[in-house]
Each structure stands twice: as C-alpha cells, then as structure tokens.
Amino acid sequence: MRPRRSSHPPCPAPPGDTPCAAGRASRPGRLRRRGPAALAAVAALLLPWAAAGQEVELPEPGYYGEKGGDFTLTGHTGERLALGALRGNVVLLTFGYTSCPDLCPTLLATLTGVWRELGAQDSALRVAFVTLDPERDTASRLAEYLAYFDPAFLGFTGTLAEVQAVARQYRVKFAVRQASPGGPRQVDHSTFIYLIDRRSRLRYLYPHTAPPRQIAAGVRQLLAAKE
C-alpha cells in the first residue's frame, strides 16, 4: 500500500516547451524563500484546470530507438536505486530540480492529478523525478521536496557525471546559469514527461502542457496491454 496522496489540486504548466527558469527572472527568489510547501500550493494555482487533451495512440515498443533505458542513481532514501527495479509498474519519469521557481512544481502537481484520474489503478503507477542539480539536491532534500506533492514520488540524484549520463540517455537538454551577477543559480532544461511501460521501455513523450486526463489515458493503455 503506497503512502497517502497529497491534497494539492493538479494543473498543467504554462504553454510551450520553455526552459524551467525562463521568463520568471523577477520571481524565483521570492518563491523559493517561501519553501517547498508554498511552491506546491502556487503550482496548483498558476493556471485553471485545462480541458482534457485528445487521447493518443501509443507507438510500438522500439519507436524511440535507443532513447531511454535503465539507469542506477541514488534514491531519495539514500540507497542506490535502478529504474529497472520498478519493472512490472508503469512509470512516469521527469527531470527538474528542487529550486525550480515555476515549471517543475507545476509539472509535479500535474502528475498528482494523474493518480487521481487513475483512481483504483494508481497502485500500478510510479512517478520518478531525476534532479538536474545534484550538487544542491541531496537525497534528503529531494525527499522533503517531493513529499509536498506526493509522498510516493521517487527522487533520484547522484554525482554530476552520473546525472549527465542519464540526461544524455533520455536526450534531456540542460544548462546551469546565473540569472544575474551574484543572483541565484538556475537550470534551464527540457520538460518532457516520459511514459515507460512495465518492461522499462520508453513508450511516449508528453509535453509538460499535457493535462492529467490525457496522461492517465496513456497509462491505462499500458496497464491493459498484454505483454
């Protein structure tokens, strides 16, 4: 039995596949000073509930070629954890960082909404979040941050070299920059949600603007598939 879900209502992220830190230069510090709980609440209020997106037909396994696959990093519990250890479950994987001012908390709030859409089927889903800022995002920091969205979310961190290797594996683009001289460090990054089947194969890439209902429909397709 997995932990009780968060009560934060879900909502989709702002339109366009923009970097996580882009367009919010004047706000990050103020939001971060409020802490993860405030970020989770703000994420749920950034935009109204989006209309349900059209259900997509998932491509066959192998469609994405060598993109994706198994990896091993340090989980938010401090133990080494392989994505392959989640075989038998459907996984929604995404990348970000805990100091992200807007898109990351909004995306995570969306993923809590996917579990609500699934209802009784949610026990067969795992949500995994890989930090792109491992120097600051320790296992304990990930655990605290993710708990504000859902205590069942799995966090992954590691050395910078390990994280870079996983990012290359999933074709994640990211770059660290200073918003202003002496200002907070920000990470610009791509913001896809990776749908992974029970055999750890990448099956679909959702943009961060996809509403929970559309993502849940893809999860249901995989849960119903005979493998």
Mean pLDDT per segment of 10 residues, for the chain of length 227 residues? 40 35 34 47 38 71 92 96 95 91 88 88 89 92 94 95 94 76 71 94 93 94 84
pLDDT value for 8: 34
Domain 28-46+68-224 in CATH: superfamily?
Glutaredoxin (3.40.30.10)
Indicate the domain borders of the chain. Answer: 28-46+68-224
pLDDT for the residue numbered 129: 96
Q: What is the pLDDT of residue 155?
A: 97
Q: What is the DSSP string of the chain?
A: -PPPPP-PPP-PPPSS---TTTT-TTSHHHHHHTHHHHHHHHHHHSSPPPPPPPP-PPPPTTTTTTS----EEEETTSSEEEGGGGTTSEEEEEEE-TT-SSHHHHHHHHHHHHHHHHGGGGGGEEEEEEES-TTT--HHHHHHHHHTT-TT-EEEE--HHHHHHHHHHTT--EEEEESSTTS-EEEEE---EEEE-TTS-EEEEE-TT--HHHHHHHHHHHHH---
pLDDT of 91 reads 97
